[in-house]
Structure formats: structure tokens, C-alpha cells
Structure 1
């Protein structure tokens, strides 16, 4: 069901999320009552979608220190990646992942406080930045995502991206081949060898070549753009426009959560 405020957690989505919430730690020594899991999850989504700093979290959503502690607790338990994986599995059952045409592309963002997985951004006067490498299916559904320093070449991240699919990838066959669309930055023997060794058929094109093919070839459909659109979808979660997290694990947790929300939103539409 469409929502105008994307940070709100609908009843339908919470029912999907609830089974994956990690069990609460033992409270044998007593202490204050634990914050409700749904309230904590909603507050984390609010931070993700609005980009607000932890210490600026509205008090009615919960104490910022408590919500941040729950975020850290769930990150260490692998909750956010598990939620993304569960969303992909359900999406595959309901709609079907379009394995035939996949696409990879990288995107860079500033990382003023980041430590691990950062580097001098060559497009931002050498300032500290992070690059995320994303693999999507033919409809732009995120299948794999890795991060590294902004100075890391896309080709160096390709192997980790292709090997990082969070659900089981079906084996390509002659009847059901799998194509991989890449931009001209991946052109070269090393990238082609890595792609072909994983039984993909590489399609390496610049944006200009794609436009020319669309003009010259009747019925031609440009396919690489879907991964660029997914980067844009992810950036709607304003917390990810700039990497404020010092720990790369926390940054990845927010990315995994954004991927999960994207997929569950589409599942609500199909439902």
C-alpha cells in the first residue's frame, strides 16, 4: 500500500520483519523495561529515511542512545542483511527475480568521518569518500552490494560484487543464459575474464553506444540503466547521501536496510 511518509512502518511490513528480530539478551540482573522492538525498528527507519543525526532523534520516537544501541545490537546479530535476504527470497517467489539480464555499477559518496573502506575521492578534490558497488537483476532489484574506498577502481570491486549475491543464484544454461551489463569503465581483459569465469555473457557499453544502438536496432532495449536507477532509489534514504558512520559495519547495515525496504515496498505493491 502506497505511503506518503516513507519512514512509517506499516502493519503489513512489520509482520514481515517481526520473525527476523533477534532475541533480546538475558536480563537476569533486572533493569529498565526494554524498548518495544517495533518502536525501535520504526525509529531506525526514521533515521535512515530522513538522514537525521542520532542525537537529534525526536524524543517521542525513543531515546537516541537506546535506539542507537539497538541498531548496534541488531547489526552484530546480522539482522539487516537477513532481512534483505528474506525480502529477496519472497520477491523471487511472488514476482520472480529477472536473472537473465543483470547489471553492475559503482557510485561514490562523501565519508567525512569514515575510517575503514574510505579513500581519496578522485571526483571530489581528493576528499575522503566511499564507493559502493551494486549488482541488480533486470528490474533493478538489488542482489549484491559491497563498499570500499572511493579511490578503488570499479574493476577491483567486480569480483566481490558478483560473489556477494545474498541468495542462491541459479546456474546459467543455454536455454536460460545470464547476461551482465557494464559500462565502459569495466572494459578490458581482466574484467571480461572474471565475468565469463562466472558464466555470464558480458555486455560492456558506454551510454553513447547504448543510445546509438537504440536508434539503429529496432526493438533494442537499453538495460544497464536499471542499476543506476537503483542507486538513485537507495539515495532516497537520506542517511546514505553522505556516509556519517565511522564503522563500515554500520554503514553496510543501513545499506542492507535500504535494500530490504525497497524490496518489501515492491512486495506491498504486488500484494
Structure 2
């Protein structure tokens, strides 16, 4: 995770963000390249170069390009709501909504703790009332 101040343009952090990805991804091939979708804010040579250098095939909407109609017949639906929902959940944590932590490491720890609490509460709700399975 990359943490920066509100006065830092996020396009400048693209290379650092790609390097900070912890999920292992399969090796890109000619048949199945690794795609990276970016919005119009990343329409500059620096962002395209950072994505290409990391082995991604960048898909950047160009400035001035018209919005395309989304074909939902194949089951590819926009999932922006997942991100917005998660931000809404995290905004209920006062320590994250107003950044009291001066140190980046402490703030990152607060984010991780908040995410762990969200998952714990969700798992508790899902398993509440379910029969306990004994492990032998």
C-alpha cells in the first residue's frame, strides 16, 4: 500500500503502487497479457511507461474520448460499488476519517486494523447461529 499526502498527485504514485501489489499474478504471455485499466487522469507518457515497464498492457481512456456503452450481456458488470462501499465502511472509523496519525506506518496500521475488524464482524454475522463443526 502506498500512502501519500492529499497534495500529491496520484498519477505520480502509479509505479510505486504497482510495485506494492502483494498478490502474486501469473506470468503474462502473448495469449493472456496482464491488463491494467486506468482512467483519463493517467493519460500521460509517464503512466503508460510505468504500466508497460511492470509487464501490464495499459488500457487508458484518452482525454476527449467518448464514453463507450458497457456490454453487460457477457456478465462483465462495473464493480465500482465495491470500492465505494468499502470506503463508506472505513469512513465510520473516526481515526481514518480524520487522519490523526502523523506517521505513515501508524496510519497504515490503523487501516489494517479497521479492515480486520470489518472482516471479523462480517464473519461473525455469517456464522452466528450456525452449528459448530468439531475438528478431529
TM-score range, shorter chain: 0.5 to 0.7
Q: Which residue of 2 aligns with 1:38?
A: none
Structure 1 residues 180 and 193: alpha-carbon distance in aligned structure 2, compared to 1, 3 A threshold: same
Structure 1 residues 209 and 189: alpha-carbon distance in aligned structure 2, compared to 1, 3 A threshold: same
Q: Which residue of 2 aligns with 1:214?
A: 69
Structure 1 residues 260 and 152: alpha-carbon distance in aligned structure 2, compared to 1, 3 A threshold: same
Q: Which residue of 2 aligns with 1:173?
A: 29
- Write the distance in 2 (CA, Å) between the matches of 1:158 and 1:152: 12
**What does the per-residue CA deviation read over 1:102-129, in whole Å, with 9 as the maximum and x for residues that have no partner?**
xxxxxxxxxxxxxxxxxxxxxxxxxxxx
Q: What is the DSSP-based 3-state SS (H/G/I as helix, E as strand, rest coil) of the residue aligned with 1:146?
A: coil
Structure 1 residues 234 and 195: alpha-carbon distance in aligned structure 2, compared to 1, 3 A threshold: farther
Aligned: 1:231 with 2:90? no
Q: Which residue of 2 aligns with 1:182?
A: 38
User: What is the deviation of 1:231?
Assistant: 3.4
- For the aligned residue pairs, the C-alpha RMSD in angstroms reads 3.4
Whether contact under 8 Å (1:181, 1:202) holds in the other structure is yes
Q: Which residue of 2 aligns with 1:40?
A: none
Aligned: 1:198 with 2:35? no
- Write the distance in 2 (CA, Å) between the matches of 1:227 and 1:260: 17
- Write the distance in 2 (CA, Å) between the matches of 1:172 and 1:150: 34
User: What is the deviation of 1:185?
Assistant: 1.1
What stretches of structure 2 of length at least 5 have no aligned partner? 128-136
Q: How does 1:116-195 map to 2 (within 5 A)?
A: 145-195=1-51
- Write the distance in 2 (CA, Å) between the matches of 1:204 and 1:153: 17
- Write the distance in 1 (CA, Å) between the matches of 2:89 and 2:65: 25
Q: How does 1:1-271 map to 2 (within 5 A)?
A: 145-205=1-61, 212-214=67-69, 217=71, 219=73, 221=76, 223=78, 225=80, 228-229=83-84, 230-262=86-118
TM-score of the superposed pair, with normalisation by structure 2: 0.67
What stretches of structure 1 of length at least 5 have no aligned partner? 1-144
Structure 1 residues 157 and 232: alpha-carbon distance in aligned structure 2, compared to 1, 3 A threshold: farther
Structure 1 residues 226 and 166: alpha-carbon distance in aligned structure 2, compared to 1, 3 A threshold: farther
Structure 1 residues 202 and 223: alpha-carbon distance in aligned structure 2, compared to 1, 3 A threshold: farther
**What does the per-residue CA deviation read over 1:140-160, in whole Å, with 9 as the maximum and x for residues that have no partner?**
xxxxx2111211111111111
User: What is the deviation of 1:262?
Assistant: 4.7
